[in-house]
Amino acid sequence: MTQINRLGGGLVNQGQTLSFTFNGKQMQGHPGDTLASALLANGQLLVGRSFKYHRPRGIFTAGSEEPNALVHLRSGAHQEPNTRATVAELFDGLTATSQNHRGSLEFDLMATTDLLAPFLSAGFYYKTFMWPRAFWEKLYEPAIRMSAGLGRLSMQEDPDTYDKGYLHCDLLVIGAGPAGLGAALAAARSGARVILADEDFAPGGRLNAETLEIDGMAGRDWAGATIAELAAMDNVRLMTRTTVYGAYDHGTYGALERCTDHLANSGGKPRQILWRIYSKRAVLAAGATERPIAFGNNDRPGIMLAGAVRTYVNRYGVTPGQRMAVFTNNDDGWRTAADLAAKGVEVCAIIDTRDAPAVCDVPGARHIRNAGVVNTVGRKALRAITLTDGQVIPCDGLAVSGGWNPNVHLTCHQRGRPEWNEAISAFVPAGDLPPGMAVAGAANGALTLGAALEQGRNVANAQIEDLGFTPSRDTPPRAEDEPHTGAPVWHIAASTKRAWLDLQNDVTVKDVKQSYREGFRSVEHMKRYTTLGMATDQGKTANIPALAIMAECTGKTIPETGTTMFRPPYTPVPLGALAGRARGREFRPYRLTPSHEWAKANGATFVEVGNWLRAQWFVRPGEKGWRDSVDREALQTRQTVGICDVTTLGKIDVQGRDAAAFLNKIYANGFAKLAVGRVRYGIMLREDGICYDDGTTARMSENHYVMTTTTANAVLVYRRMEFARQCLWPDMDVHLISTTDGWAQFAVAGPNSRKLLQKVVDPDHDLSNEGFPFMACGEVTVCGGTPARLFRISFSGEMAFEIAVPARYGNAMMGVLMEAGREFNAVPYGTEALGVMRIEKGHAAGNELDGRTTAYNLGLGRMVSSAKDCIGNTLSRRPEMNLPDAVKLVGFRPVDRTKKLIAGAHFISEGKEATMANDEGWISSVAYSPTLGHSIGLGFIKSGDTRIGEVVRAVSPVHKTEMRVEIVSPHFIDPEGERLRG
């Protein structure tokens, strides 16, 4: 028998044995155990080293509030650090290792830190590692990080999957202890849709840990029967292993369900599910957390909260020690002694801080009144305790009870502040709860069983009556109220040794007192100065005792001193669960262009443009780098004909009797007089007069326009137009629909573009320069009757068309165009060649419309019509935005043509120093022009339009380079526009 501390009974199945390892050591446990209960059963009291001082630590609690027993669970890529052993369900083959030590757990080389403790008190890091400043990054921080800390990441990709889910209910009951079960039962019997969520794998809450009775049966049996009844009801969803971690607006709750954490292998199923629960009402029945009493060396393995000891004894059939002592300031601690004795464990002493008679008879135990523990001995496991009167009591386990704190966390998530309840010396929820929430049971300060049951039922009934349900008339469950009085004692003042408050962040009573002395007296300052309550347990066992000690220092009451607020999450939520399926390629949705398959089959390299994957260039055999491909595509397009999928540009269908008037409001330039069958380039402004977007809009018929936007702004422009239509001009007869996805559109550019299209467009359509001139548009058919739209517009500067077909024909259309273009040596081109050609032509794009530039800056000032209102018109006329020396869009080329321009470089006049004061503008776009054989750029420089031919310096402090550049026209090729009109 290796399980030296295993007793009989409990909720574990001792008929079946599970094997697991801790630090490589083989151990046994049973189904129903947690890792913590199994470690205790095997006599493994030492489970980790503390964060700062590397003190040996054991298991302190039996629940999610655990500050100490954090382990690495599983191995390899599945390894998870900082897992609380107290909530990790045991399974066969589980492997766990301890954290934060160098060398073995027993002989941690870093334990010497503890000897330096006198120098390492609160604020030590802030005060000590200040100088020299340069040492912080290189020396101090790495050293501190190595010596302090918690678990290690596996540094491998998380192999598990995580899901997200959405649920709706009338009543959400948080916690399946007596109050929660009573609430869920009452609501469910009335017919309401109920979700009952509990973080434990065995619902029942404290009923599983206590020996109390309900309706004459054991509490845990009543819980079992109630859960069975709830599970059989169609209107109830019972969610175990599910932590409701946050209360959000309007009855929305966040919950984390651990689906496969209790299995050796997830079997391909999601490991955890992050639920969003929409509730009409909620009952918070989250129970209470026991708090410790601080005394000298109160952190040794073997010292445990008294309620946790009962959990181990009654639920798991495990005792933390063979010779136990109990230290309490209240009646509740006595039940621990009684339950231990009932299981045959030796209880040597009950030390009560009160001068009061025994609460119950505990065979064999000495009752020591009006006393306290001042010190303990036993480095890796408790050996004895010293009392205030100096007597030493040998024992290997000490149960400590300082009273219970209601778990008010979720009541604070929407600015609620709990209030102090003198009767139980604890904070309880005040009236300012999240809307729709009510609190019942221990979470509400009803710390006894009878009161919790009754309150759960009454609160649930009031909640569902509010929703129009009639409460059921069944007989409510009844239980006695156990004795629970106590007198608050927060720490034993006679202790001269360090007394720990926050076990996870290694904060002591002395640290809190020092914080007071140094002026950090508000609770929020004290927390940040000492780091108390800021570890992964968020100070569930530490906050209130620390607050009490600060209150002692200040001479104020606890409520006057303050309370700590709680924010979500209640317990840690893995980042993997928050990410869900949004990882890697699925990080966000992505969209494929209609010709994606054709492009993939023809050597395309893709680039993300917003959500779209677009062909960036097409590699041909023998090409050594991207420039080879891009140069070829641009040259071949200019020489003969190129084809590019431009579907991603936004397309907005604008229809209605007021369509023309509406476009006049949206665009800075006029569209009302645009002839049917013609296209016009337009610019949109923001209301502050800055350029927003540009594109072409075609008038298909009197009351029908087709607008294009840039790819990046497709959604935003449409949103703005809906705003203008609904909110600014609500009675214009105009309707908008986004058709970006509806049409596959291709640019066909180059001298042979017309000849190519004449082979594809059905012959009854005249594509001659007279029949279909530059900036013409119309509806045509292609390939023998397929509907299409044709636009004669050009981004490249060549004679060019854009042809649109219903999106489902897009991939086929790309093939048809390429096949028809074979005799002309047509080339597919990607976004890079597109960019090269638009820079050669001097067309503005996103780099120029960067949210800082006006139409005036872009050389398009005259497009802003003064004869009509439009968005941005008034403010674009502000004098400061129209100064004579404003920057203007012009072209640039290096004086030494072999040099490469750098985008982002700033212009300085020759002979002037390169300072911000002498800054005259910047280069916005650069490309290598294969047509010209050198680097070219577009950019903005003060009064640029009047400085053509001048040479300035382009300085890039980032690249530590500068070069002389010549200001030129932005139209590097065909400045007269003869090609595109040809």
Q: Which residues bind another protein (CB under 8 A)?
A: 249-252, 278, 414-415, 435, 687-688, 715, 719, 722-723, 726-731, 869, 873-875, 877-878
Nearest by Cα to 350 from 401, 300, 390, 295: 401
Q: Which is nearer to another protein, 93 or 435 (CB)?
A: 435
Q: What is the rounded CA–CA span in Å between residue 311 and residue 924? A: 68
Is residue 429 a contact partner of residue 413, using CB atoms and an 8 Å limit? Answer: no
Instruction: Match 């594109």 to its residue by tokens.
Output: 695
Least distance to another protein from the beta carbon of 726, Å? 4
Question: Between the CA atoms of 613, 617, 618 and 623, what dihedral angle is there, to the nearest 10 degrees?
Answer: -140
Supply the minimum distance, in Å, between the C-beta of residue 735 and another protein. 11
Smallest separation (angstroms) from another protein to the CB of 469: 19
Query: 344: phi > 0 → left, psi -120 to 50 → alpha, else beta; which?
Result: left
Angle at alpha carbon of residue 81, lines to 75 and 85, rounded to 5°: 95
The minimum distance between CB 55 and another protein, in angstroms, equals 44
Nearest to another protein of 169, 238 (CB atom): 169
In angstroms, give the least distance from the CB of 693 to another protein.
17
Strands 236-239, 194-197: parallel, antiparallel or unpaired by DSSP?
A: parallel
Report in angstroms how near the CB of residue 183 gets to another protein at its nearest: 23
Tokens matching residue 525: 């300052």
By beta-carbon proximity to another protein, the closer residue of 280 and 947 is 280
> Residue 392 or 672: which CB sits closer to another protein?
672
Structure tokens at 607: 């680039």
Cβ proximity to another protein, 268 vs 589, nearer residue: 589
Residue 825's CB is within 10 A of a number of other CB atoms, namely: 11
- DSSP class of residue 917? G
Q: Min. distance of Cβ 862 from another protein in angstroms?
A: 18
Cβ proximity to another protein, 1 vs 727, nearer residue: 727
Q: How far is the CB of 480 from another protein (least distance, A)?
A: 41
* Closer residue to another protein, CB minimum distance, 368 or 717: 717
Asked if 689 contacts 772 with a C-beta cutoff of 8 angstroms, the reply is no
Q: Between residues 391 and 874, which has the closer beta carbon with respect to another protein? A: 874
Pick between residue 878 and residue 912 the one whose CB is nearest to another protein.
Answer: 878
Asked if residue 685 lies in contact with residue 871, where contact means CB atoms within 8 angstroms, the answer is yes
Residue position matching structure tokens 């530490």: 542
Helices first, then strands: H and E counts in the chain:
23, 50
Find the shortest distance in angstroms from Cβ 138 to another protein. Answer: 43
Burial class (CB in 10 A: 0-12, 13-18, 19+), 60: buried
Nearer to another protein, 146 or 728 (CB): 728
Cβ proximity to another protein: between 164 and 899 the closer is 164
Least distance CB 567 / another protein (angstroms): 15
Residue closer to another protein by CB (options 216, 730) is: 730
- How far apart CA 864 and CA 846 sit, in angstroms, is 19
Q: Which CB sits closer to another protein, 165 or 773?
A: 165
Instruction: In angstroms, give the least distance from the CB of 886 to another protein.
Output: 18
Output 434 or 821, the one with its CB closest to another protein. 434
Strands 252-258, 242-247: parallel, antiparallel or unpaired by DSSP? antiparallel
Q: Cα 660 vs. chain centroid, distance in angstroms?
A: 45
Report whether 636 contacts 727 (CB < 8 A). no
Question: Token pair for residue 186?
Answer: 């009452």
Q: Is 441 exposed, middle or buried (0-12, 13-18, 19+ CB in 10 A)?
A: buried
H-only helix segments in 744-830: 753-760, 810-821
Q: Residue holding tokens 């908008």?
A: 736
CA distances from 235 to 196, 300, 507, 531 (A): 11, 48, 47, 45
CB 708 within 8 A of CB 649: yes
Smallest distance, Å, CB 432 to another protein?
Answer: 10
Q: Sign (positive/negative) of CA torsion 435, 441, 443, 446? A: positive
- The least CB distance from residue 273 to another protein, in Å, is 18
Q: How far is the CB of 583 from another protein (least distance, A)?
A: 20
Closer residue to another protein, CB minimum distance, 730 or 784: 730
CB-nearer residue toward another protein: 320 or 416: 416
- Do strands 94-98 and 70-73 pair parallel, antiparallel, or not at all (unpaired)? antiparallel
Give the end-to-end CA distance of the chain in Å, rounded to a whole number.
96
Which residue pairs from 257-260 have beta carbons closer than 8 angstroms and sit at least 24 positions apart in sequence?
A: 260/160
Q: Which long-range contacts (CB under 8 A, 24 or more apart) does 380-389 make?
A: 380/45, 380/46, 380/56, 380/106, 380/301, 381/45, 381/46, 381/58, 381/300, 381/301, 381/302, 382/45, 382/300, 382/301, 382/302, 382/303, 382/321, 385/325, 385/327, 386/296, 387/351, 388/492, 388/494
Structure tokens at 654: 């604008």
Nearest to another protein of 474, 722 (CB atom): 722
The span from the CA of 207 to the CA of 203, in Å, is 9
Q: Among residues 607 and 715, whose Cβ is nearest to another protein?
A: 715
CB of 724 to another protein, least distance (A): 9
Q: How far is the CB of 253 from another protein (least distance, A)?
A: 13
Rounded CA-CA distance 187/323 in Å is 45
Minimum gap (Å) between residue 78 Cβ and another protein = 32
Q: What is the largest CA-CA distance in the chain?
A: 113
The distance of closest approach from Cβ of residue 238 to another protein in the complex, given in angstroms and rounded to an integer, is 25
